[in-house]
């Protein structure tokens, strides 16, 4: 992936510096709220925690709060750069905790290199947190620091550089050994790198049953009696052996695990290994041996690296979010070896399962089957959280370190419910787009936001792009802003386009009986919007995304003029998808029609149904009104009621109901209490059909802003081809999101 310095720094700087923020989880809108949240009400909670410290888990954020702590002495591969310089990395780790496991994490950079004083700082702040993730602390200090903190604290303390790497390595090794028909207790294992990761890997493999391990550092084999550059942690692995060098160690080795430096292994090393070897070259960014060279030299080998562009990536992201999730949810006192092994075994077992279509699409492949090139799950597999976290929680309970005993199967199901809506939806549409990339035309190709969004779309393999505009201007902006494209975009300038007469003919044929003269067509064809729409009408592109610099209604008028609506629908309509607190809703018609009849509403409901299914949403439709199931005979209430009846008569297979108030539609408890006859009583509605543009537009904007949701749209429905119009002034993210939806729409041979 090509990343420019400008793009990296802009990402970390805008729209506000850094990658994390803190937001309240409780309302603080009234005097009563204030009295409960702070004084005098909070005093009751204080006394409760003093009486029983465990109540802190019930009444404060401690139960879901992790500290990501470093002193910056071993930052990534950059070495000792200081505490402050480690902050971007620690913020990044906090973001991963939140995004992948919904764990609130705060980065803490401690400007202290003395291990004992560092330990004292962490001990002093530990009551705040439910767990502590140590990060980027140099060896051997990291071992001593973690040991002392584990001994003195009653919350999980986990140094990811050690144990994260060790756990994922063990998971991969379990499967590699099975495929190579070898047993952990019999194989000769060579570990190169005696820092945090190497020592932790060796310890965990021994705990799992490994008996023959040779550990090497930059001075060679760690053997019994060696004096040079030794410490107590290396002494654990000092063995009686005549081997002194890497050449000696590799002779007859079954397993090589490298956490050291690039290009360490040569052809001689590889050929001296035992039959059916296992080679884990985990140095980043460049492994100890090139993946393809290793396989070319030893075709009988299984090879893994730390890189995402090769099969079998050993990635800590597979571990720490889910390990902490499981540990926090049972209020574990430590992360012990039983929990680490449970995580590794869960990952190993998941790799043997059939891979979901969602994961295949995420990586742009047709299949992933357990075997030499797939021994460990992919980091974006959405199932990891409900495989690993329950395994860790079960191990904590069974080993006696959990304060809270839970039903593991119920816990697994709760994780599926909690993490599925946002993650599954976004991954689904992105992966679906990647499965069959199409071509998008952007009429505003000279706009920086459009260029940036287009670069993301291309670089992620979502679509091919056509940028309409002045080529010199576009290329200058690409260079000026440091924007990179994995594949160069096609740039078309209507003013110099050599087939402009063909486009003029096409537009004239479309509009000649609809008020357009040849003269008018020959003039407006140069307009980038009209030019791009004609390109779509001629099937030279598959989708249109525009509007960032134009008025929405003006572009919609042109879209209807050139593309037109499908004849089976009375109107074109617009919808928004809102993701609020991990719940997903579609709201229609939020952008197009001011006045709607019952027939129109039924059409819009059906279009929304089709669109939702295409995006992987299981539709549950509610016709919204101020009335509930006949409580009013006002004409507007009767309109919504009639729309439901029309839809039900035409499409009885669709789950829908109405008329009903908006709160009733989404509140399952209210539905069951007041209206147990409702078709939506089991889960409530996720598609809300509003009676007019005023109500739908206001509802989506209020929900989006006040609930801080994710809004994707507006999504046009009922057109003959895939075209979407962004709102004037929209962000790069909005253009990017709508582009993904356009590709998915273009893949369909049915309604757009």
- Residues tagged active-site: 38, 93
Q: How many CA atoms lie within 13 A of 608 on its CB side?
A: 34
CA distance 66 to 103: 7
DSSP H stretches of helix in 448-527? 448-459, 471-480, 500-511, 518-524
* DSSP SS3 for 379: coil
**Sign of the four-CA dihedral 429, 435, 439, 444:** positive
- Angle at the Cα of 194 (from 193 to 197), degrees rounded to 5? 80
Longest pairwise C-alpha distance within the chain: 96
**Distance, CA of 663 to CA of 172 (rounded, Å):** 48
Paired sense of beta strands 157-159 and 212-217, if any: unpaired
Phi, psi of 624 (to 5 degrees): -90, 140
Backbone angles phi, psi at 623, to 5 degrees: -90, 115
Contact in structure between 663 and 680 (CB atoms under 8 Å): no
Please spell the DSSP secondary structure of 647-658, one letter per residue: HHHH-TTS-EEE
Residue in 354, 358, 388, 355 with CA at minimum distance from that of residue 171: 388
Phi, psi of 172 (to 5 degrees): -65, -40
- Please, which contacts does 705-710 make with residues 24 or more away whose CB atoms are closer than 8 Å? 707/580, 707/581, 708/23, 709/578, 709/579, 709/580, 709/581, 710/422, 710/578, 710/579, 710/580
Half-sphere exposure of 201 (CA within 13 A, CB side): 32
d(CA 179, CA 371): 7
Name the pairing type of β-strands 573-580 and 583-588.
antiparallel
């Amino acid at each position: 992936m090509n990343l420019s310095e400008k793009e990296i720094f802009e990402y970390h700087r805008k729209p506000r510096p850094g990658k994390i923020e803190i937001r309240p989880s409780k309302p603080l809108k009234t005097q009563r709220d204030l009295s409960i949240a702070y004084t005098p009400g909070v005093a009751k909670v204080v006394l409760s925690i003093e009486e029983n410290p465990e109540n802190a888990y019930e009444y404060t954020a401690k139960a879901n709060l992790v500290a990501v702590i470093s002193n910056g002495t071993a930052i990534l591969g950059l070495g000792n750069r200081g505490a402050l310089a480690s902050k971007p990395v620690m913020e990044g780790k906090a973001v991963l905790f939140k995004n992948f496991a919904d764990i609130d994490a705060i980065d803490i950079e401690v400007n202290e290199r003395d291990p004992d004083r560092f330990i004292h700082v962490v001990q002093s702040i530990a009551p705040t947190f439910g767990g502590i993730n140590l990060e980027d602390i140099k060896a051997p200090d990291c071992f001593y620091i973690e040991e002392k903190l584990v001994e003195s604290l009653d919350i999980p303390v986990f140094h990811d550089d050690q144990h994260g790497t060790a756990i994922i390595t063990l998971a991969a090794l379990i499967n590699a050994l099975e495929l190579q028909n070898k047993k952990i207790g019999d194989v000769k294992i060579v570990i190169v790198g005696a820092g945090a990761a190497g020592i932790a890997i060796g310890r965990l493999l021994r705990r799992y049953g490994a008996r023959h391990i040779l550990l090497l550092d930059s001075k060679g084999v760690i053997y019994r009696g060696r004096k040079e550059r030794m410490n107590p942690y290396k002494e654990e692995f000092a063995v009686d052996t005549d081997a002194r060098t890497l050449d000696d160690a590799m002779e007859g080795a079954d397993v090589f695990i490298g956490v050291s430096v690039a290009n360490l292994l040569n052809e001689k090393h590889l050929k001296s290994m035992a039959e059916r070897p296992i080679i884990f070259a985990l140095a980043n960014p460049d492994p100890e041996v090139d993946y393809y060279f290793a396989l070319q030299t030893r075709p009988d080998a299984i090879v893994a690296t730390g890189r995402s562009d090769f099969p079998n990536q050993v990635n800590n992201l597979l571990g720490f979010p889910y390990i902490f999730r499981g540990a926090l949810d049972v209020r574990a006192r430590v992360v012990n070896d039983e929990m680490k092994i449970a995580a590794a075994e869960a990952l190993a077992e998941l790799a043997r399962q059939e891979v979901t279509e969602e994961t295949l699409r995420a990586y742009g492949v047709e299949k992933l089957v357990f075997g030499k090139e797939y021994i460990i799950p992919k980091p974006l597999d959405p199932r990891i959280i409900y495989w690993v976290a329950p395994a860790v929680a079960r191990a904590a309970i069974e080993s006696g370190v959990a304060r809270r005993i839970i039903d593991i199967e119920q816990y697994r199901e709760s994780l599926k419910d909690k993490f599925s809506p946002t993650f599954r939806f976004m991954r689904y549409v992105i992966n679906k787009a990647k499965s069959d990339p199409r071509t998008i035309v952007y009429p505003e190709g000279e706009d920086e936001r459009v260029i940036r969004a287009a670069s993301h779309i291309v670089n992620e393999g979502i679509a091919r792009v056509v940028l309409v505009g002045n080529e010199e201007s576009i290329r200058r902006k690409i260079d000026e802003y440091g924007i990179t494209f994995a594949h160069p975009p096609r740039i078309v300038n209507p003013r110099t386009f050599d087939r402009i007469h063909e486009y003029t003919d096409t537009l004239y044929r479309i509009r000649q009986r609809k008020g357009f003269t040849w003269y008018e067509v020959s003039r407006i064809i140069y307009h980038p919007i009209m030019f791009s729409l004609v390109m779509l009408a001629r099937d030279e592109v598959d989708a249109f995304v525009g509007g960032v610099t134009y008025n929405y209604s003006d572009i919609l008028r042109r879209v209807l003029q050139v593309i037109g609506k499908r004849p089976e629908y009375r109107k074109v309509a617009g919808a928004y998808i809102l993701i609020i607190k991990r719940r997903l809703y579609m709201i229609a018609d939020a952008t197009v029609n001011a006045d709607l009849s019952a027939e129109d509403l039924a059409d819009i409901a059906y279009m929304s149904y089709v669109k939702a299914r295409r995006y992987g949403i299981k539709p549950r439709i509610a016709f919204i009104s101020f009335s509930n199931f006949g409580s009013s005979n006002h004409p507007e209430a009767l309109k919504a009621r009639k729309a439901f009846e029309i839809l039900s008569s035409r499409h009885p297979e669709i789950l829908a109901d109405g008329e009903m108030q908006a709160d009733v539609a989404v509140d399952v408890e209210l539905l069951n209490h007041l209206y147990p006859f409702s078709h939506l009583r089991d889960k409530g509605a996720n598609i809300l059909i509003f009676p007019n543009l005023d109500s739908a537009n206001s509802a989506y904007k209020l929900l989006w802003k006040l609930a801080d949701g994710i809004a994707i749209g507006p999504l046009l429905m009922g057109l003959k081809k895939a075209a979407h119009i962004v709102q004037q002034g929209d962000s790069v993210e909005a253009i990017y999101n709508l582009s993904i939806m356009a590709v998915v729409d273009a893949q369909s041979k049915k309604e757009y």
